[in-house]
Amino acid sequence: MDKPILITGGAGYIGSHTVVALVQQGYYPVIADDFRNSYRKVLDGIKELIGFEPPVFEIDICDQKELELVFEKFDFKGIIHFAADKAVGESVQHPLKYYHNNIGGLVSLLSLAQKFKIENIVFSSSCTVYGEISSNREVKEEDTGGHLNSPYGVTKWIGEQILQDFQVANPEFKIINLRYFNPIGAHPSGLIGEYPIGRPNNLLPFITQTAIGKQDQLKVFGNDYPTPDGTCIRDYIHVCDLAEAHVHALHFIEGKTQGGSEAVNVGTGRGTSILEVIQLFEEISEKPLNWKFEERRPGDVASIYANAEKAKKLLNWEAHYTVKDAIEHAWKWEINLNNEN
């Protein structure tokens, strides 16, 4: 209880793995989640992995009055902010939902961080803030300014601007924006993993659900991108590596004697195409996958992968798992889920 950390969206995909990583490093996670994008079942897996059930508050963080009750119960040493809507395609169709939740939630959270003087903040940002600047190359943190392809990406960019302005006005605050690339995989134990509500928006859970019969067919959106095989290239990072990055980020800002803000890429530095992911899955599972090409999807960029040198130098962090590891762990998680049903 001496190092309580507020985890908004802590029952979600990345949040749940970060809860486990935090406990392993001596922190006490407190989860705030409204379960719009997560299942309560994940709490069972968390409990089995960490040996106890962390406090969970089922609230919408946009409700500042409800959120304040959580702040009153704990002397938080830091905040890791995940809670947000996150599907690029959905954001194009429902932009107001994304502006309301992603920006409103952040403002609500920062208002309370200011009131309760919680000065260490790690923000879940995204490589979507780079927009269309990449052309089959890695991107560095200073490479911002490209056209943003989706309202989701805009909300992450605005979120970073809000945090920057907030830090200038409150110079004692220490803030780090982690710009994720594409999280995939599951905990190696198979006890927690990606558990999408309804039809998956992300590639790997759609692959595993198709292979196991929950989905009829995988659709690959676009085969005419300017990439070697015509499909989008992404920097796929194992979710456990990403969770560890949050712990390293928290250590980093805790050790700073002065306030400030930083943006840091969290990726592997390597790009993998959608077709390569499909081929790897078929090799690992020994199952042929039912898939077909469809038209391009609005909001997708052709190719983006990280220059991750800043994370290594600043946070003493780098990815250790491979894409193959992530696929193996995601498939184990999917099989476990299927066996329980």
Active site residue 39: no
- As a whole number of angstroms, the longest Cα–Cα distance in the chain is 56
Q: Is 230 helix (H, G, I), strand (E, B) or coil?
A: coil
Residue 111 CA to residue 42 CA, distance in Å, equals 29
- Sign of the alpha-carbon torsion through 88, 89, 94, 95: positive
Residue 187 CA to residue 248 CA, distance in Å, equals 18
**223 phi, psi to nearest 5 deg:** -130, 20
CA angle 230, 235, 239 (to 5 degrees): 135
With beta carbons less than 8 A apart as the criterion, state whether 52 and 198 touch: no
Residue 280 CA to residue 334 CA, distance in Å, equals 16
Residue 327 CA to residue 203 CA, distance in Å, equals 11
Tokens 């949050």 identify what position?
A: 246
Candidate list 13, 98, 130, 152, residue with the active-site label: 152
Report DSSP state, residue 130: G
Residue 185 CA to residue 154 CA, distance in Å, equals 26
Residue numbers annotated as active site: 152
